[in-house]
């Protein structure tokens, strides 16, 4: 079974470029994506601010993670919310990913528009309108596989009532979500988890299919205390998975962001059923948070490479040690660390510079020998809040080259 509609992804090359895409230069307006990239435009044809992806780094990261998951004996359902780019999802699926993870119903609708046939919703879906739509999708397509989470008896009751009202014919598969303080959602105690499982088994519109959770909210560094908290939580997930009676032939146990997936494998691999990692940031990686905390950076595998870079122009030098760049919060991620100046395009590495603050449209850069008009490449932290600011992202043949060439354009839907 094809997990994504390849023809629908290929058709993205027929989209016409215009003013809707802030990364696209005026000279490309009216051309299709395919027509424009066939001319191999240079990056210097694009204005600033700009976000790019590096083709080689993307390929490397996809291969590295796919190979690691295969060797570990687990499945990978990468979190699609990181990129919301069906073209990148296709790369991950073609490399062997089991399915695509998503976070909410609008994201699931994007996936279905591109024929994604196996979706793990790492969240609860209680909206009656959304549940009616989902029931229609499941009933209309027998090959569509969908898995969601529940973390309360009340949530089970609301899902069951909405699905009954919608006349659902196929039961919705759900995982009991186990949480821990100070995490996000997820039932906090094991006794409550068992009650939720029994409620699911009693609901004819639902099917108990596994256990889910997220360890990434419990630690934000790789300290001994952080790793111990993650391990303790994952052992609880494993124990709950062993205790439940499932209503599917192959139950799922799923965890794993992009920071501690090695520990997920260490604790969960070998359990009965299917162990599914949901790591998503790996495909793009970064020059910030994940660069430091990724298991591969800590010696657990082949290091990933940051595929995303921002490009911003020096537009003002109002003080001797201050430069203002034409990119800000509307263009760059900043929630997990400020951008990092790396090089001046066409000149080489930049030394002694740092971004100290961002406004909506400006970056404040102190230090570094730059002149008004020069273009600075910035490393970014946290791909989830970088790509969401761009609807069309150029892919270059090498961000380290003096004269990068654009070889593709990636469309996103956030």
Q: Domain extents for the chain? A: 6-54+304-411, 56-283
Place of tokens 């088994």: 201
DSSP single-letter state for residue 394? E
Neighbours of 12 (CB within 10 A): 20
- pLDDT tops 90 at residue 302: no
Q: 3-state class of 56 per DSSP?
A: helix
With cut-offs at 50, 70 and 90, classify the pLDDT of residue 162: very high
Q: What is the pLDDT of residues 164-195, one digit of tens each?
A: 999 999 999 999 999 999 989 999 999 999 99
Residue 125 backbone dihedrals phi, psi, to 5 degrees: -120, 105
Q: Return d(Cα 379, Cα 306) in angstroms, integer.
A: 8
What are residue 150's DSSP bridge partners? 176
Residue 78 backbone dihedrals phi, psi, to 5 degrees: -60, 145
Q: 3-state class of 43 per DSSP?
A: helix
Task: Tell me if 76 sits within 8 A of 276, measured CB to CB.
Answer: yes
Q: What is the pLDDT of residues 117-159, one digit of tens each?
A: 999 999 999 999 999 999 999 999 999 999 999 999 999 999 9
- pLDDT tops 90 at residue 1: no
What are residue 388's DSSP bridge partners? none
Encode burial over 77-101: b for 16+ CB neighbours within 10 A, e otherwise.
bbbbbbbbbbbbbbbbbebebbbbb
- pLDDT tops 80 at residue 301: no
Cis amide prior to 182 (ω within 30 degrees): yes
Q: How far from 151 is each of 121, 200, 211, 290, CA to CA, in Å?
A: 13, 11, 10, 29
Average pLDDT in the 263-271 region? 95
CATH number given to 56-283: 3.20.20.10
Overall CATH class of domain 6-54+304-411: mainly beta
In 241-330, at which residue ranges do the beta strands (DSSP E only) sit? 252-255, 274-277, 308-319, 322-325
Q: What is the pLDDT of residues 272-285, one digit of tens each?
A: 999 999 999 999 99
With cut-offs at 50, 70 and 90, classify the pLDDT of residue 108: very high
Mean per-residue pLDDT over the chain, rounded? 97
In sequence order, which residues have a C-beta less than 8 Å from that of residue 104 and are 6 or more positions away? 121, 123
Q: Decide the pairing of beta strands 100-102 and 392-396.
A: unpaired
With cut-offs at 50, 70 and 90, classify the pLDDT of residue 299: confident
Average pLDDT in the 222-243 region? 96
Neighbours of 354 (CB within 10 A): 13
DSSP single-letter state for residue 16? B
C-alpha closest to that of 240 among 278, 192, 184: 192
C-alpha closest to that of 216 among 267, 269, 189, 180: 180
Half-sphere exposure of 33 (CA within 13 A, CB side): 20
Q: What percent of the chain has pLDDT over 70?
A: 100
Q: How far from 305 is each of 67, 160, 262, CA to CA, in Å?
A: 15, 44, 18
Q: What is the pLDDT of residues 307-348, one digit of tens each?
A: 999 999 999 999 999 999 999 999 999 999 999 999 999 999
C-alpha closest to that of 4 among 145, 123, 136: 145
Average pLDDT in the 224-241 region? 96
With cut-offs at 50, 70 and 90, classify the pLDDT of residue 244: very high
Instruction: Give me the pLDDT at residue 273, please.
Output: 96
Q: 3-state class of 171 per DSSP?
A: coil
Task: Tell me if 379 sits within 8 A of 287, measured CB to CB.
Answer: yes
Let me know if the fold of 6-54+304-411 is the same as that of 56-283: no
Q: Return d(Cα 10, Cα 297) in angstroms, integer.
A: 34
- pLDDT tops 90 at residue 298: no
- pLDDT tops 90 at residue 351: yes
Instruction: Give me the pLDDT at residue 133, please.
Output: 98
pTM, two decimals, is 0.96
- pLDDT tops 90 at residue 220: no
**Structure tokens belonging to residue 187:** 């039932």
**Which residue stretches of 51-206 are H helix?**
55-72, 86-94, 105-113, 128-140, 153-165, 190-202
Q: What is the pLDDT of residues 48-80, one digit of tens each?
A: 999 999 999 999 999 999 999 999 999 999 999
Instruction: Give me the pLDDT at residue 4, please.
Output: 98
Q: 3-state class of 318 per DSSP?
A: strand
**Structure tokens belonging to residue 179:** 């949480």
> Residue 2: exposed, middle, or buried by beta-carbon count in 10 A (0-12, 13-18, 19+)?
exposed
Q: Decide the pairing of beta strands 172-177 and 206-212.
A: parallel
């Amino acid at each position: 079974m094809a997990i994504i509609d390849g023809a629908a992804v290929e058709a993205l090359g027929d989209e016409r470029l215009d003013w809707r895409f802030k990364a696209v230069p005026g000279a490309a307006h009216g051309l299709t994506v395919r027509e424009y990239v066939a001319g191999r435009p240079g990056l210097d044809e694009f204005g600033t601010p700009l976000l790019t992806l590096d083709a080689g780094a993307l390929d490397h990261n996809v291969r590295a993670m796919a190979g690691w998951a295969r060797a570990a004996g687990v499945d990978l359902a990468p979190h699609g919310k990181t990129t919301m780019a069906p073209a990148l999802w296709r790369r991950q699926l073609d490399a062997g990913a089991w399915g695509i993870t998503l976070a909410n119903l609008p994201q699931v609708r994007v996936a279905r528009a591109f024929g994604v046939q196996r979706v793990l919703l790492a969240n609860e879906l209680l909206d009656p309108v959304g549940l009616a739509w989902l029931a229609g999708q499941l009933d209309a397509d027998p090959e569509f596989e969908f898995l969601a989470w529940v973390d309360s008896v009340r949530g089970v009751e609301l899902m069951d009532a909405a699905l009954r009202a919608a006349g659902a014919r196929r039961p919705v598969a759900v995982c009991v979500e186990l949480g821990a303080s100070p995490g996000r959602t997820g039932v906090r105690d094991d006794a409550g988890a068992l009650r939720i499982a029994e409620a699911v088994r009693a609901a004819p519109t639902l099917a108990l299919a596994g256990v889910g959770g997220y360890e990434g909210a419990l630690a934000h560094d790789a300290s001994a205390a952080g790793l111990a908290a993650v391990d303790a939580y994952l052992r609880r997930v494993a124990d709950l998975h062993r205790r439940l009676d499932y209503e599917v032939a192959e139950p799922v146990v799923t965890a794993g962001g992009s920071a501690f997936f090695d520990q997920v494998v260490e604790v969960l691999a070998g359990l009965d059923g299917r162990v599914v990692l949901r790591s998503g940031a790996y495909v793009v990686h970064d020059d910030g948070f994940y660069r430091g905390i990724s298991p591969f950076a800590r010696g657990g595998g082949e290091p990933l490479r940051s595929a995303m870079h921002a490009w911003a122009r020096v537009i003002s030098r109002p003080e001797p040690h201050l430069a203002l760049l034409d990119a800000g919060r509307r263009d760059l991620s900043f929630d997990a660390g400020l951008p990092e100046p790396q090089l001046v395009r066409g000149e080489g590495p930049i030394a002694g510079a740092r971004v100290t603050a961002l406004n909506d449209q400006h970056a404040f850069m102190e230090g570094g020998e730059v002149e008004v008009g020069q273009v600075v490449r910035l490393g970014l932290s946290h791909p989830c809040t970088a790509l969401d600011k761009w609807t069309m992202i150029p892919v270059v043949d090498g961000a380290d080259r003096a004269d990068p060439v654009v070889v593709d354009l990636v469309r996103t839907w956030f």
